[in-house]
Amino acid sequence: MEHKDEHRREPVVGSVAGTGRRRLICGFGAVALGVGLAAADPVGPGGGTGRAGADGKHGDHSPGGGEGRDRGASGAPGRPAEPGTVAGRDGGEDPEVRADGARAADQRARVRFTTPEAALRELAAGNRRWRTGREQHPGEGAAVRRSLVAGQHPFAVVLGCVDSRVPPELVFDQGLGDLLTVRSAGEVLDEAVLGSIVYGVLELEAPLVVVLGHQGCGAVAAAVRADGDTRGLPAHVRYLAEQIRPAIDHGLTGQARLDAAVTAHVRRVRARLVAEPDLAPRVAAGRLAVIGARYELTSQRVVRIDGPTF
């Protein structure tokens, strides 16, 4: 995933300082959690301390607490594991060995993906695998499914369109427990969408929100075609068109107008999220990044269009 500011592309990673101890008071059941977060974020095997410890209870609504993701245990024979993860297999191995491997992989995963920059780096790597035909389909095996019974620790929230050609888990090559995906036609916001995003950030502690538009978006196209006269649209589709309408540039025509509206709409949605009172303090503290991006159907590449440059 690369940064694109109009015609400019920049690297997607850099440095973002972490934070110290933080306290979460969440509107979902008034859950209050104290979670330690390492100030530094060394990436890779053995680096940093991540959010282990108190995090064992984090996001866990099932009895018994437990582990989060095991990205290495894909369960597919011959499938390459990511560097720094454990290549588990689903059958035949000693359960205790498997459990140890799952725990080790989970610890490394937490170290890697607890900051905005680490989360973005993983999404960029996943999209690179996707568009080059080297998908790993991580986090689908039986061991991962078992580990996720006890809780979840998604490292990013992706707000995307409902378009069947742009499923976030596929275009970012992520698995179970990795992404909290929220999808609405044209990634339009409403109270349910906003509440879902806030849930992922405040209760599940995801450090990154990606607003993901895409080339050839039908919802945006409908809004552009209607251009304010939504009488011909089904009642509930009117809402979508009206929400997208402010992104239309009347100085453009045809395909250029549609394509610009996709990008402008993502920018508007991102700006709204950054300003949300539930999210703004985390953004200001560097604990949360909200970026805009778009998926290109032709290249299968996710390109950043707005947000902080790390």
Query: Is the CB of residue 109 less than 8 Å from the CB of residue 85?
Result: yes
Which is nearer to Zn ion, 144 or 185 (by Cβ)? 185
Tell me how many residues contact Zn ion (CB under 5 A).
4
Strands (E) located in 6-132: 8-10, 22-25, 32-35
Which DSSP string do the residues of 208-241 spell out, in sequence order? EEEEEEETT-HHHHHHHHHTT-GGGS-HHHHHHH
Which is nearer to Zn ion, 104 or 162 (by Cβ)? 162
247 DSSP assignment: G
Which DSSP string do the residues of 60-79 spell out, in sequence order? --STT------TT----TTP
What character string, x for contact with Zn ion (CB under 5 A) and - otherwise, covers 102-141?
A: ----------------------------------------
Structure tokens of 182?
């929220």
Structure tokens of 158?
């992706």
Which is nearer to Zn ion, 161 or 289 (by Cβ)? 161
* Consecutive H or E run containing 130: helix 116-131
CB of 219 to Zn ion, least distance (A): 5
Residues in 155-174 that interact with Zn ion by CB under 5 A: 161, 163
Asked whether the CA dihedral 114, 146, 204, 300 is positive or negative, the reply is positive
Which is nearer to Zn ion, 33 or 244 (by Cβ)? 244
SS3 at position 255: helix
Which is nearer to Zn ion, 43 or 193 (by Cβ)? 193
Residues in 28-67 that interact with Zn ion by CB under 5 A: none
CB of 25 to Zn ion, least distance (A): 35
Does the footprint of Zn ion cover residue 259 (CB under 5 A)? Answer: no
Which is nearer to Zn ion, 204 or 220 (by Cβ)? 220
CB of 165 to Zn ion, least distance (A): 9
Structure tokens of 197?
């995003």
Does the footprint of Zn ion cover residue 269 (CB under 5 A)? Answer: no
CB of 178 to Zn ion, least distance (A): 22
Does the footprint of Zn ion cover residue 217 (CB under 5 A)? Answer: yes
- List contacts with Zn ion (CB under 5 A): 161, 163, 217, 219
